[in-house]
Structure 1
Amino acid sequence: MGISVFIDQVLELLMGWPLIMYVIAISALCTVAFKCIQITNFFTSIKNTFTPSISQEKSTDADMTPFQAFMNSLNSAIGNGSIGGVAVAIAVGGPGAVFWIVIVGLLLMAMRFAEIYLTTYFGPKKMGGAILGGPMVYLHHVIGGRYLAYIYALFCVFFGFIGGSAIQTNTIGLSVSTTWGIPAWINAVMLTVFVAYIVLGGASRIIQASMRIVPVKVVVFFVSSLTILAYHHQSLVSALQLIVKSAFSPVAVAGGLMGFTIQQAMRAGINAVVFATEAGIGTAAIVYGGSESKEPIADSIGSMLGVFISTTVCFLVAMCIIASGVWNSGLTSTALTVAAYNSTFSWFGGWLVTFLSTTFGMGVLVTYAYITRAVWLYLTGGKGQRIFTVLYCLFAFMGALLKVDMLWKLTDITNVLLLIVNLFGIVMLLPLIVRGIAAYHSEKR
C-alpha cells in the first residue's frame, strides 16, 4: 500500500459520518444549552461588533481590540475554501449540499460563541513577549488538559506552516500563473517577500495588514457576486427550490450520469461549512486571546457574526454557481466558480476570481502568521521567534513552487484532529459557559 493510498483511507475514515455526527451533535448541544443564542442575540452580535463599549477597547498590553480580533478571525475564515471548497461540495454533493451549509452554519455560530467565551474567560497567558490564548489555555482545565493542550498545539503549528502558509501561496501562485502567465518562481519570490515583511513586523503589522485586506476582499466579493445574481435574477427562485428539493431527495444529472444522493449532499455540505468557517477548530480563539477581553460574553456574542458572514459568503458562491446553470457542467473547485463568474463577466470573470483567490489567500497567510507564531511560542516556551519567521517564509516560498496535492490531504487530516480535540474541551467546559450566560443575564436585569 502506497503512502498516498494510506492517507486517502485515513482521510475517508476521519471525515466520515462519525465526525459529521460529532460536529452536529455538539453544535446542536451548544445551541440548546445556550438557548439559541445565535438567534436571540443576532442583532446584539452586530451591535457588539461595530459599536463596542469602552470596556471593549484595547487594553494597554493587548495585541488588538476585540473588533480587530473579529476582523482577523474573519480574514482567515473567508479564504479559498469559500471559493473552491463550496464548488467542490456542489460538484460532489449536488445543490442539496448548499442547504446543509446554511443549516449547519447557523448551528456553528453557537460553537464559535463557546470557544471565544472560554479563551476570554480564562484569559491569555504571556510568554516571550507574546500574548497566548485559545485552546492551549482553556484545555488545561479539562481532564488530561496539560497533554491535550500540547497535542493541540503540535497539530496547530503543523497546520499553520502547511495550510496557513504553503497551501495559500500555492493557490495564489497557480491562480496568478494561469490567468496572467507570471512564472512560478517570480510568484514565489514576491509572496515570500510579502510574508517576510508582515511577519518581521510582529503582531502589530500582522493586525494592520488584516485590517486593510478584509474590507477590500469582502467588498469586491459581495459586489461581484450580487451582480451575478442580479444578472441571473430569473433563475433565483428555481435555484432556491432546487437547493431545498435536493437536500431531501436524490437528484439526477444530465447525460445519464449518476445523480446525487441525500447522504452525499449532507456530507459534502457539512464538511464544506465546517472547514470554511473554522468554527470549533479553535484558531479564532487564539486570535481573540490577543485582545485580553474584559467582557467575555459581549465579545463572544460579537464573534458569532464572523461565522454568519463566512456562511453567507459560502451561500452566495453556491447561488452564483447554481443560478448561472454551470453546477452540473462537470467542472469542480475554482474552475466551477470561474465558469459562474464568466457567465456574467465573460473573460473578466476569470480575472475577478483570480483577484479574489489572491486576496482571500493573502488574508489567510497574514492571520495564520499570528496564529502559528502564538502556537510556536507556546511550544518553545517563548523562544525561537527568528526560527519561526524563517520557517514560515520557507514554507511560503516552497508552497508557491511545488505540487501540494498530498499536503492538502494532510491539512484536512490535521483540521479534523484539531476539531476533535477542541470540541472535547468545549463539551467538558459546557456547564461553566452556561453559568456564565446565566450570570450575564442576571446582571442585565
Structure 2
Amino acid sequence: MSNIEYQFSEDFAREMDKKDPLAGFRNEFLFPQINGNPAIYFCGNSLGLQPKNTKAYIDKELQNWSELAVDGHFEGEDAWMYIRQKSKPALAEIVGAHTHEVVAMNNLTSNLHFLLVSFFQPKGKRNKIICEAGAFPSDQYALESQVKFHGLNPDEVIVELAPRQGEHTLRTEDIINKIEEVGEELALVMMGGIQYYSGQLFDMKSITEAAHKIDAYCGFDLAHAMGNAPLSLHDWNVDFATWCSYKYLNSGPGNISGIFVHERFADNADLPRFAGWWGHDEGQRFLMEKGFIPMHGADGWQVANSNVLALAAHQASLDLFQKAGIKNLRKKSEILTGYLEFLIEQISGESGVLEIITPRSPSERGCQLSLLIHKGGKAVFDSWYGKGVVGDWRNPNVIRLAPTPMYNSFTDVYQFGRILEQSLAEFA
C-alpha cells in the first residue's frame, strides 16, 4: 500500500482497475439500479450482491427435487444427506480452520444460542461475560437471555467495554486489562470480530490468549468479519464462532449461518449442548434409538437437517471465493479501502462535515469505513443515495461504506469521491 500514490482522478482509478487481477469478478454479480444506472454499491456489510450463478445453483436442486423427490437424500451428484460437506473446504479456508471445525447450519443468532449452551456454563462466582458496549442487538439479546436462563442478573453478570472518553474504538490493552481484572470471575469473552458500528477489527488472537490465561472461554460473532478480514481461528485457539452468510459471503437475504468449534472439543461428548437428530452419529442416525452420540467436530452441534436450497445459494458464492482466494481479496481490500479513505480525507478536508471513526491501520479494520456526520445528519446520506450511492445509515449519525473487493472497483470509489465533492457544497 505504501508504494501506491493515490490520485483523485478518473484516469488513476481506471488504471488501477486495469491492473486489478480480481476485476473480472465484478461481472459475476448483479447490481441494483438507481435512477436507471447501476448503483455504487457500498453496502455489502448489510447485504451482499447476488452472484449471477445463484439461480442456476438453486435450479439444479429444484430439478433434483422434481426428478428424485425423497431419493435425492441419497442419490444424485450432491446427495442431500451429505450436502453440508460441499461448503466445508471454502468455509475452512475463509476462517482459517480445519474442515471438521466448521459447518453451515441454521441462522446466526440461533447458532449463538446453541454455542452459548455449551460455552457459557456459570459456576459459583465464575459467571461473568465480557462483551463490547454497543454490540449488535442480537448479541446483546442472546447474552441477556442466556444469563437469565441461568437465573442470573444481566446487569451484574455482563461486563461491557466502552472506548475511552473522546475515542471511538477500544484499545486492545484495555480489553486485556479488563479480562485480567475480572479474573477468576470471568466465564466467557464473547465479542464481535468486527464491531458493526465503528468497523473496528479486534485482535482476536490476543483477546483469546488473555481469556484462556484465566481459564475462561472465548468466542466471536463474525457477522462483519467473515469473508472480509483475515481469520486464523484454529491457530488463534478461539473456542467457538458463528457468522451469517448474507453480508460479505453474498449468499442471499437471511440465508444460512455457520459455526466454528475448535477441534479440542471435537469428541467431547460431555460438553453440554442442545442436541438434535442431524448432530447424531451419522453411521447410527437411522437406527432411530435413544441416546445422543455427537458427530465429530462442529457437525455434532447440528440440530436440524440441511437446508438444501439455502446451501445451494451459499455454494454459488463460496465457489467464487475459492476462485478469487481470500488472501487475494484481502490484498485488494486494503488498497481499495485505502483509496476511499484517501479521497474522503482529501475532499472533506477541514469542512467539519464528517469524520472517519474506523481505525486507520488496515490491520485494525476490514473494508468498512464508518463516517460520523457532524453536519447535515441523515440528509447527507439521503443526498448520496439520490446520486446512486448505496451505503448504510446507523443511528444516531453514522454512515457505513464498505467497498467490497469481490465486486467493487476503483472507479466506484472515484465516482463516490465526485459525489462527496458535490455534497460538501450543500452541507459544509
Q: TM-score, structure 2 length as denominator?
A: 0.26
Per residue, is there more strand in 1 or in 2? 2
* Structure with greater contact order relative to length (CA < 8 Å, sep ≥ 6): 1
Per residue, is there more helix in 1 or in 2? 1
Q: TM-score, structure 1 length as denominator?
A: 0.26
